[in-house]
Amino acid sequence: MPTPSLDLEKIFVEEKLQERKLCHLKVDKRGSSIVVYSSGENGKENRCRFTRIKTGLFVLNMANHTGRWESTPFEGSLGELLEMVIEQFPWTLTNYDQF
C-alpha cells in the first residue's frame, strides 16, 4: 500500500507558521518528513523536522548548529509537536536576518 502524501500536513504547517508571523520560514516535504527551514544570506538553514512514523503520529528532530538532524524524545501529532517547537523552543525559529 502506498504511503499517504504529506501535502495536507505541509499546508497545515505553513498556515500555522504564517499565523504566528513566522513568514521567513519555508516548509518542504522530503520522504516521510515535513521540514521547516529558512533561506537567507547564509543559504538554506534547517530548523526542525517532523517525521511520520505512522498515520497521525510524528517524531521531532531538531537541526544542530551545522544543520545536521538531532533526535529528540518527542513524538505526537503534528499539531502538538509544532506547538511545542513554537512555544518551548522559539529560538529555533528565529529570523537571523533581522539582527
Q: What is the pLDDT of residue 96?
A: 77
User: pLDDT digits over 78-94, tens only?
Assistant: 999 999 999 999 999 99
Question: Where do we find the cell 500536513?
Answer: 9
What's the CA angle centered on 92, arms 91 and 94, to 5 degrees? 60
The ranges assigned to domains in the chain are 7-94
Q: Which residues pair with 75 in a beta bridge?
A: 59
* Residues 81, 72 contacting (CB under 8 angstroms): no
Stated pTM of the model: 0.91
Tell me how far the alpha carbon of residue 98 is from its chain's centroid: 20
